[in-house]
Structure 1
Amino acid sequence: MAATSAGPAQALYYSRARASMVPQILGLAFIAFGTLFIILSIVQQRIDFLLVPLITFPVGSLVAFMSVTVRVDEHRVVIVFCDVFKRTVSRADIAAVTTDNTAGASGYGYRIMGPGMVGYLVGGPEINIEMKNGRVVVASTDRPEQLVRVLTPRSTPGSQLR
């Protein structure tokens, strides 16, 4: 008889941070700008005006509705930006976890922030995951203190020397 699968791992932490007001307003302005060109193409009877909405609608939607999802289970941390960019980090590879509660100081979007440092940012509080190999992953999250508690290893009572 075949063994049944255990199914997906139970999530210890789940967060979906959405874009703050600045990118939402900019994205919606891009969409409105594209709508204006659709109206102009109808009024002026010019099909070449339809090229602008083909660019502004997808870009505006991506900017206005961007999000970062962070999911932690027993073995890994999965960070997904806009359901496009995905990073999986093994919990065994994590050296330190810190939080940065400044709103939007690092910018917005998928960011290469220097050698060995990448960010998945939508504004708001951020978490910095430093790995044993020296690389750093920065991600926006709505509950950074809870994520730090989940990712920080707890010492067992018998492991401390007296």
Structure 2
Amino acid sequence: MSDEQAKTATFFVTEASEDSAILTDVSDAQVHTLSENPGVAAGDVLEATLSPDPPMNVTYSVVEVVERVDIPVRVSDETPTPQARDLAEGLPEGELATAERAGVGEVHVLSVGADNVDDAVADVAEDEQTVSRAARIGIDHVEIRSGDDFVSVRYLP
């Protein structure tokens, strides 16, 4: 196990069973299959070091877990912020607008049409890419709000 082959990154656990797990690097989307599950569950976010298993180097082992976090995704009943409403104004249906938050984080606004808001909120809340994106930008939690014809996703510290 050479240090040159080891990879330290932030990983999203996309799948986990009793015997194995599949991790995705949130920065480069590279997928790593673990030869054994070190106690992770689907949805976990790990800052860890992985090393390929010899001799084939097709599976990986966890060398070290620096941090293990849960990034909650919450659907809020609060109205969207003025910033989100401004981003949504005039945004064509199906389009996405993004902006940095004051301080840390991002706001994503997706125009979905009035008939699709509830389905879009559920889709965003269940999409593993929501958590993966939060991990990539170093965020602690995600809040989803909705307007009459758009969804606002707030990536918050």
TM-score computed with the length of structure 2 as normaliser: 0.21
Larger Rg: 1
| Structure ranking higher in helix proportion | 1
| Structure ranking higher in strand proportion | 2
TM-score computed with the length of structure 1 as normaliser: 0.21
